[in-house]
Every structure is written in structure tokens, then in C-alpha cells.
Amino acid sequence: MGTFSQSWLPLAGDQAVVRSLREHDLPALYELEADPWVKRYIVGKPFSKPREDWLRDAQALCSSDNTFCIARSKSDTFLGRASVGHYIRDGRHTDRELQVLLRRSAVGSGVGREVCTLLMKAAKEYLGATRLFAEVHPGHPHSPALVHSLGFKEEEPRIASDGQVVARIFVFNV
């Protein structure tokens, strides 16, 4: 927790701001994490933690150096979460992984593109990243086009032991 300074936050865009999570964001963050629609293309295990347990443990996220709040610029309404944490590949930490998760009501109006652009710039200017990765569920209908248009190039996918593609991998040389 808090291993490097968050002095580079907030990042302000026209529609949205990326800032540290605050305690009052946590109930909305829980709703986001528990929404099967939002999570339908997220690689990993389904979300199953009971609300009260999750909320208690989630206090630590408010000092996280990796999970940030996306809020509406003018009203500060919670829109989702973003991260640009270390990317673990073949058991090694390498560069950074960009992840954006918006609540259902915020999808499709340009917030995702704006937040990705803000974080790509911050990764270069403040975090010293040389490469950014995006892992995308093979069935995701929008993310591949979004990351392509932001300048990411597709690499070999992540494949499970049964030969199934688990995630498409996109990389951006910062």
C-alpha cells in the first residue's frame, strides 16, 4: 500500500477525473465489482464476497497506489475504477497494466477513451513506464478497437493449458 507517492493525482479530463478512492466511494465501488454485466468480459474469477466483508477490507483501497476512482468532472459522481499497476508476466513484474472498469450508466459516452488517454500520459510522465499492457477478454466487443485506436499493438494471446485463449494481449510502447 502507498509505496509511491500519488502526487500525480488527480488527472483531470473534460468528462472525468481520475483521483484517489475515498471512503464514500466504496459502496459504489462494491456495486461495480458485484455487477455481473460489468464483469462479463473481465478475465478472472467471478466476484463472490459478501458486501460487509468486502467493505471492511476495502478501506485499504483508499491508500492504494494502484486502484483509483473515476469520477464525473463536475459532480464528482462515482463512475468506475482504473488502475495502472505493475504487470506480472511469466512470473516477473514488468511495466504496467492499464485497466478501466466503468459502471453501466457511464459506458459508451467517451469516458473510457478519456481515462485511458489520461493514464497513458501519466504512465509516461510520472511513473516512468516504458510499456503498457492491456489484457482483454477474447469475447470483448469494444476494448480491442479502443486500445488499437489508442496505439496499442496486439501480441501473442495468453493461452490456458487446455489451449483456450484466456486473454488477448495488447502492448503500447510509451
Ligand X SMILES: CC(C)(COP(=O)(O)OP(=O)(O)OC[C@H]1O[C@@H](n2cnc3c(N)ncnc32)[C@H](O)[C@@H]1OP(=O)(O)O)[C@@H](O)C(=O)NCCC(=O)NCCS
Binding site for ligand X (CB under 6 A): 38, 41-42, 80, 100-102, 107-113, 136, 140, 142-143, 145-146, 149
Least distance to ligand X from the beta carbon of 142, Å?
Answer: 4
Nearer to ligand X, 19 or 137 (CB): 137
Least distance to ligand X from the beta carbon of 44, Å?
Answer: 11
Rg of the chain over CA atoms, in angstroms? 16
CA distance 17 to 33: 20
Nearer to ligand X, 52 or 86 (CB): 86
Whether omega before 10 lies within 30 degrees of 0, making that bond cis, reads yes
Indicate the DSSP class of residue 22: -
Which residue's Cβ has the minimum distance to ligand X?
112
CB contact at 8 A, 53 and 78 = no
Least distance to ligand X from the beta carbon of 147, Å?
Answer: 8
Question: Which cell numbers in the block locate residue 57?
Answer: 477490507
Least distance to ligand X from the beta carbon of 7, Å?
Answer: 26
Nearer to ligand X, 65 or 80 (CB): 80
Question: Which cell numbers in the block locate residue 146?
Answer: 479502443
